[in-house]
Structure 1
Amino acid sequence: MSKIDYSLNGYERPTLKTPNGEKKLLMHSCCAPCAGEVMEALAASHIDTTIFFYNPNIHPKEEYELRKEENIRFAQKLGMPFVDADYDKDNWFDRIKGQEDEPERGARCTTCFDMRFEVTAQYAKENGFDLISSTLGISRWKDMKQINGCGARATSTYQEVSYWDFNWRKQGGSSRMLELSKREEFYQQEYCGCVYSLRDTNRWRESRGRDKIERGVKFYQEAMKGLDK
């Protein structure tokens, strides 16, 4: 039995349909590398999609701006509307207080996802979107069950808005995510986003004799150059 080619060039994208025929999708995006494959799949299926960038967890502000601008760049390329929900970091720190030492995928992440999805769902309700989803789940570093639980919880108070728990990883989605990131030469962040993930990632790297993360300098075209050697 031959292996299916799920690469960007080899994969014939199926036409995606919203769960219940919803007309307008508000897609919460965390960053361009995670969002790229999802956005391209939605564009290929002609689903009316607006990108919603609400990530007050990202630290520091310079990192936030870089990730946002990379996402805007690809949204413009696809002709997708982009909503910048601004940098709400003070409210994020208030919400996270007491969970600073929680591990990745722990209670702090749940609180963070809850906050980001609640704002996404509220914006959807106020602006005529009947469906929300997120690019967060395509990353294998994330707990999809945790993310989907937060999304469903955020929309549970709105009759007019639903959460789409589509598995963006399936059928090679995660591999195409990396392939597309190299093609588009996206900024390649090396930590989840918040100050605590940066702290913990650097602690891990130092414990193994590696240098700390140098933010803002690594782009995916470097990985492509390495493959050519």
Structure 2
Amino acid sequence: MLKLETPNGEKNVLLHACCAPCSSAIIECLLQNDIRPTVFYYNPNIFPKEEYEIRKAESLRYVKSLNLDFVDADYNHSDWREQIRGLENEPERGRRCVKCFIIRMLETARYASENGFTLFTTTLASSRWKNLADIFDAGRYAAKQFPGVALWEQNWRKGGLSERRLEIISQYDFYNQQYCGCEFSFRKSK
């Protein structure tokens, strides 16, 4: 398993999680490195609402099995749609995705700031379908808005985590979605 140290030596981290499949191996790795994550589930991009609820339930099921804290942030898809207005026809990995990362990282950094976390990271950095530079740019931008909070720029694709992720998906029989989450990626996946 990947050996980790947080940039500031912190042993508690706020982990923005997009779904159980993406977060499972990351959470396991954090715990094996004596780093306790609080899972922050904020994904207003997910559509339809039923899809959101399935993904949230799977994340909660995994987090509770490990006796960790789970923060169920507000689902406000209409606000998310308003914030990405004009970007609906952007390609995957385009400006819409960048804006979506910013929206989610800002809320994660805000929660971290208001709840005593000095460090946050995101499971978005585990997806081979996402641009790491865009994710980290969004996270750094969000962290700058909240003094005392920093982004942990960890590439969660390495160290055997992708392989372990597949094992955990099978072990827990996780629902494993076939698209990023928003209605625009859903249309592309059909």
* Structure whose CA Rg is larger: 1
3-state DSSP class of the match of 2:39? Answer: strand
1:115 aligned to which of 74, 78, 103:
103
Work out which structure has the larger RCO, using CA pairs closer than 8 Å and 6 or more positions apart in sequence. Answer: 2
Tell me the equivalent position of 2:147. Answer: 159
3-state DSSP class of the match of 2:14? Answer: strand
Tell me the equivalent position of 1:83. Answer: 71
**Number of aligned residues:** 190
Tell me the equivalent position of 1:148. Answer: 136
Which consecutive aligned stretches of 4+ in structure 1 deviate over 4 angstroms post-superposition?
A: none
Contact 1:28 1:132 in 2 (8 A): yes
2:39 is equivalent to residue 51 of structure 1: yes
Contact 1:138 1:168 in 2 (8 A): yes
CA 1:60 to 1:42, structure 2 compared with 1: closer, same or farther past 3 Å?
same
3-state DSSP class of the match of 2:5? Answer: coil
Q: Percent identity?
A: 49
How far did 1:16 drift?
2.2
Tell me the distance in 2 between the aligned counterparts of 1:96 and 1:14.
36
2:113 is equivalent to residue 129 of structure 1: no
How far did 1:77 drift?
0.9
2:18 aligned to which of 8, 30, 36:
30
Tell me the equivalent position of 1:93. Answer: 81
User: Partner amino acid for 2:16?
Assistant: H
Which consecutive unaligned segments of at least 5 residues does structure 2 have? none
How far did 1:201 drift?
1.5
User: Partner amino acid for 1:174?
Assistant: S
Over the aligned positions, Cα root-mean-square deviation in angstroms equals 1.1
How far did 1:14 drift?
4.8
User: Partner amino acid for 2:13?
Assistant: L
Tell me the equivalent position of 1:20. Answer: 8
Residues 200-226 of structure 1, C-alpha deviations (whole Å, 9 max, x = no match): 211xxxxxxxxxxxxxxxxxxxxxxxx
Residues 161-203 of structure 1, C-alpha deviations (whole Å, 9 max, x = no match): 000011111122212212221111110110100011111211x
2:181 is equivalent to residue 181 of structure 1: no
Tell me the equivalent position of 1:5. Answer: none
Residues 66-92 of structure 1, C-alpha deviations (whole Å, 9 max, x = no match): 000000000011111000002111110
User: Partner amino acid for 1:140?
Assistant: R
2:77 is equivalent to residue 102 of structure 1: no
Tell me the distance in 2 between the aligned counterparts of 1:41 and 1:135.
12
Give the alignment's TM-score, normalised by structure 2.
0.96
Tell me the distance in 1 between the aligned counterparts of 2:77 and 2:188.
19
Contact 1:28 1:52 in 2 (8 A): yes
Residues 109-150 of structure 1, C-alpha deviations (whole Å, 9 max, x = no match): 000000000000000000000000000111111111111111
Deviation larger for 170-179 or 81-90: 170-179
Tell me the distance in 2 between the aligned counterparts of 1:91 and 1:178.
33
Tell me the distance in 1 between the aligned counterparts of 2:11 and 2:32.
15
Deviation larger for 51-60 or 142-151: 142-151
User: Partner amino acid for 2:160?
Assistant: G
Contact 1:23 1:130 in 2 (8 A): no
3-state DSSP class of the match of 1:104? Answer: coil
